[in-house]
Amino acid sequence: MTTPTKTPLLDAIQSPADLRRLPESDLAQVAQELRTETIDAVSVTGGHLGAGLGVIELTVALHYVFNTPDDRIIWDVGHQAYPHKILTERRDRIRTLRKGEGLSGFTKRAESPYDPFGAGHSSTSISAGLGMAVAATLADKPTNVVAVIGDGAMSAGMAYEAMNNAGAMHSRLIIILNDNEMSIAPPAGALSSYLARLVSGGTYRTVREAAKQLGRHLPKFIYDRARKTEEFARNFWAGGTMFEELGIYYVGPIDGHNLDQLLPILKNVRDMEGRGPVLVHVVTQKGKGYGPAEAAKDKHHAVNTFDVLTGTQVKPKANAPTYTRVFADALVKEAQQDDKIVAITAAMPSGTGLDVFEKAFPDRTFDVGIAEQHAVTFAAGLASEGFKPFCAIYSTFLQRAYDQVVHDVAIQKLPVRFAVDRAGLVGADGATHAGSFDVSYLGILPGMVVMAAADEAELVHMVHTAVAYSEGPIAFRFPRGEGVGIELPEHPEVLTLGKGRILREGNKVAILSLGTRLAEALKAAEDLAAYGISTTVADARFAKPLDVDLVSRLARNHEVLITVEEGSVGGFGSFVTQALLEKGLLDGRRPLKLRSMVLPDIFLDHDKPEKLYAESHLDAKGIVAKVLETLGREDEAARALIA
Ligand SMILES: Cc1ncc(C[n+]2csc(CCOP(=O)(O)OP(=O)(O)O)c2C)c(N)n1
Ligand SMILES: CC(=O)[C@@H](O)[C@H](O)COP(=O)(O)O
Ligand SMILES: [Mg+2]
Whether the CB of 400 sits within 6 Å of ligand 1: yes
- Ligand 2 — pocket residues by CB below 6 A? 48, 77, 79, 184, 302, 351, 422, 426, 429, 480
In a domain, 280, yes or no: yes
> CA 162, 168, 169, 173 torsion: positive or negative?
positive
Measured CA to CA, the distance from residue 199 to residue 528 in angstroms comes to: 66
Whether the CB of 397 sits within 6 Å of ligand 1: yes
Residues 45 and 193 in one domain: yes
Whether the CB of 80 sits within 6 Å of ligand 1: yes
Residues 192 and 52 in one domain: yes
In a domain, 314, yes or no: no
Q: How far is the CA of 465 from the centre of ligand 2 (A)?
A: 28
Using CA atoms, how far residue 237 sits from 184, 212, 217, 315, 400, in Å, is 32, 11, 13, 51, 37
Residues 137 and 280 in one domain: yes
Residues 440 and 510 in one domain: no
Give me the chain's average pLDDT, please: 93
Q: Ligand 1 pocket test: which of 177, 183, 299, 426 has the largest number of ligand atoms within 8 Å of its C-beta?
A: 183
**Looking at this predicted complex, what is its ipTM?**
0.99
pLDDT given for residue 284 in this prediction: 97
Q: Which CATH number is 614's domain given?
A: 3.40.50.920
* pTM, to two decimals: 0.95
The sheet carrying 501-504 orders its strands as 501-504, 535-539, 509-514, 560-565, 593-597
Residues 379 and 471 in one domain: yes
Please spell the DSSP secondary structure of 323-383, one letter per residue: HHHHHHHHHHHHHHH-TTEEEEESS-HHHHTHHHHHHH-GGGEEE--S-HHHHHHHHHHHH
In a domain, 166, yes or no: yes
Cβ within 8 Å of residue 297, ≥6 positions away: none
Q: Which amino acid is at 464?
A: H
For residues 355 and 349, the answer to whether their CB atoms sit within 8 Å is yes
Residues 361 and 465 in one domain: yes
Q: Which atom of ligand 1 is nearest to the CA of 121?
A: 26
In a domain, 303, yes or no: no
Q: Catalytic residues, which ones?
A: 286, 372, 400
Measured CA to CA, the distance from residue 548 to residue 551 in angstroms comes to: 5
pLDDT given for residue 208 in this prediction: 77
pLDDT given for residue 235 in this prediction: 41
Mean pLDDT of 187-197: 88
Ligand number, closest to the Cα atom of 353:
2
Percent of the chain with pLDDT over 70: 95
Residues 473 and 505 in one domain: no
Instruction: Read off φ and ψ for residue 330, nearest 5 degrees.
Output: -65, -40
8-state DSSP, 559? S
8-state DSSP, 482? B
Measured CA to CA, the distance from residue 317 to residue 312 in angstroms comes to: 15
Per the annotation, where are the binding residues? 79, 120-122, 151-153, 180, 290, 372
Residues 582 and 472 in one domain: no
Q: Which of 116, 99, 103, 184 is nearest to 150 (CA)?
A: 184
Q: Ligand 1 pocket test: which of 74, 79, 122 has the largest number of ligand atoms within 8 Å of its C-beta?
A: 122
Q: Which residues surround ligand 3, an ion (CB under 5 A)?
A: 150-152, 180, 182
Per the annotation, where are the binding residues for Mg(2+)? 151, 180
Q: Which CATH number is 272's domain given?
A: 3.40.50.970
Mean pLDDT of 50-78: 98
Residues 83 and 169 in one domain: yes
For residues 389 and 383, the answer to whether their CB atoms sit within 8 Å is yes
Per the annotation, where are the binding residues for thiamine diphosphate? 79, 120-122, 152-153, 180, 290, 372
Whether the CB of 618 sits within 6 Å of ligand 1: no
Residues 52 and 159 in one domain: yes
> CA 177, 178, 181, 186 torsion: positive or negative?
negative
Measured CA to CA, the distance from residue 525 to residue 11 in angstroms comes to: 55
Pairing of strands 560-565, 509-514: parallel
Q: Which of 520, 506, 549, 519 is nearest to 626 (CA)?
A: 520
Other beta carbons less than 10 A from residue 496's beta carbon:
12
Residue 51 pLDDT exceeds 60 = yes
Tens of pLDDT, residue by residue over 153-176, are: 999 999 999 999 999 988 999 999
pLDDT given for residue 213 in this prediction: 76
Residue nearest to atom 16 of ligand 1 (CA): 152
For residues 485 and 320, the answer to whether their CB atoms sit within 8 Å is yes
Please spell the DSSP secondary structure of 278-318, one letter per residue: EEEEEE--TTTT-HHHHHSTTTTSSB-SB-TTT-PBPPPPP
Whether the CB of 184 sits within 6 Å of ligand 1: yes
Residues 221 and 86 in one domain: yes
Residue nearest to atom 24 of ligand 1 (CA): 121
Whether the CB of 286 sits within 6 Å of ligand 1: yes
In a domain, 493, yes or no: no
Q: Which atom of ligand 1 is nearest to the CA of 54?
A: 21
Other beta carbons less than 10 A from residue 451's beta carbon:
29
Residues 163 and 258 in one domain: yes
Cis peptide before 69 (omega within 30 of 0): yes
Measured CA to CA, the distance from residue 599 to residue 595 in angstroms comes to: 13
Measured CA to CA, the distance from residue 473 to residue 485 in angstroms comes to: 29
Instruction: Read off φ and ψ for residue 201, nearest 5 degrees.
Output: 95, -15
In a domain, 308, yes or no: no
Tens of pLDDT, residue by residue over 396-428, are: 999 999 999 999 999 999 999 999 999 999 999
Other beta carbons less than 10 A from residue 270's beta carbon:
17
pLDDT given for residue 419 in this prediction: 99
Other beta carbons less than 10 A from residue 586's beta carbon:
16
Q: Total domain count for the chain? A: 3
For residues 518 and 453, the answer to whether their CB atoms sit within 8 Å is no
Task: Give the start-end residues of each E strand in 491-619.
Answer: 501-504, 509-514, 535-539, 542-544, 560-565, 593-597
Q: State the residue range of the domain holding 254.
A: 8-295
Measured CA to CA, the distance from residue 49 to residue 97 in angstroms comes to: 12
pLDDT given for residue 316 in this prediction: 86
Measured CA to CA, the distance from residue 182 to residue 470 in angstroms comes to: 36
In a domain, 36, yes or no: yes
Tens of pLDDT, residue by residue over 198-256, are: 887 656 777 777 777 777 664 444 445 444 443 333 344 344 468 988 999 999 899 99
